[in-house]
Amino acid sequence: MDLEMLEQVDRLDGWLGEGGVVVLSGAGLSTDSGIPDYRGPSGSARRNTPMTYQTFTGDPLARRRYWARSHLGWRTIGHARPNDGHRAVAHWQERGLLHGVVTQNVDGLHQAAGARDVVELHGNLARITCLDCGARSGRDQLEHRLTAANPGFAAVASAVNADGDVELDDAELNGFSTVDCLACGGMLKPDVVYFGETVPADRVSRAFALVAAARTLLVLGSSLTVMSGRRFVVRAVKQGTRVAIVNRGVTRGEPYADLMIDAPLGVVLPNLARETDTYRLLPR
């Protein structure tokens, strides 16, 4: 890191040391775990259009296509492991420096690293929900059922996207069978918020409450392109809360930031974790 960046990291270190920090994380935090982001340097949004709720529920062929691709993608998402960035966030929380964690990610890696009470704005790919009866189940159960229903499915994904979908030629979908809810025979869907859906109000309220009580809002690995995440930055600025952003590349949050660090999170966050190792605050 150059001198200017070291000074920025040192400034952020001081803010962390004061405690009361709320982390808002995006897909850029998970790239070092092998999960591509949406709009950053490895952005999958440049290559594909994400699934919408309307398409998933209204088009049986699109739904079958999604489950085939997601079945392949889960081999990457389900086996991903937390990286140094996730561990740094869990470390700060354990030391009482964090007031809360809000994530736009659906990979569950914050919790796998040891973080607690994470507000998952967009849900979690490890959970499956029935749109008819509301029953929930684990992704591993669904994967066993899909594997049993498609013993000859041998397609190979060319690229994995941040939402667990993959790039796959339609010719590879021939013969793929979906499965329905074991409880009622209804339509199954990953317990995630698709484009065209709204984030559940209780999650939004919890996130706003965390931001309202924060000294610093720390954005990690998010371009803040969509209002789903950017609204918390806007709220923080309106209430006079400091905003710090660590992100690789362009972010729409830069005009709001009191501190902006454009650098790989895998470099900055481990350094910050070491710097804050001596800090310990009482739980708020």
> Would you say 253 is a known binding-site residue?
no
Q: Which tokens belong to 144?
A: 């066993």
User: Cα–Cα distance between 280 and 265 in angstroms, integer?
Assistant: 23
Secondary structure letter of residue 48 according to DSSP: -
For the question of residue 122 being annotated catalytic, the response is: yes
User: Cα–Cα distance between 89 and 85 in angstroms, integer?
Assistant: 6
Rounded to 5°, angle at Cα 192 from 75 and 269: 70
From the candidates 86, 99, 110, 122, give the one annotated as an active-site residue: 122
- 1 neighbors 12 (Cβ within 8 angstroms): no
* CA dist 283 → 12, 94, 112 (Å): 20, 9, 21
Nearest CA to 272 out of 4, 22, 10 is that of 10
> Would you say 181 is a known binding-site residue?
yes
Q: For the stretch 35-70, what's the b/e string if a residue is b when 16 or more beta carbons lie within 10 angstroms of its beta carbon? A: bbbbbbebbbbeeeeebeeebbeeeeeebebbbbbb
> Would you say 130 is a known binding-site residue?
yes
Q: Which value, in Å, is the radius of gyration of the alpha carbons in the chain?
A: 20
In sequence order, the β-bridge partners of residue 166 are 160
3-class secondary structure, 231: helix
For 100, the enclosing helix (H) or strand (E) is strand 98-103
Residues labelled catalytic: 122
Annotated binding site: 130, 133, 181, 184
Annotated binding site for Zn(2+): 130, 133, 181, 184
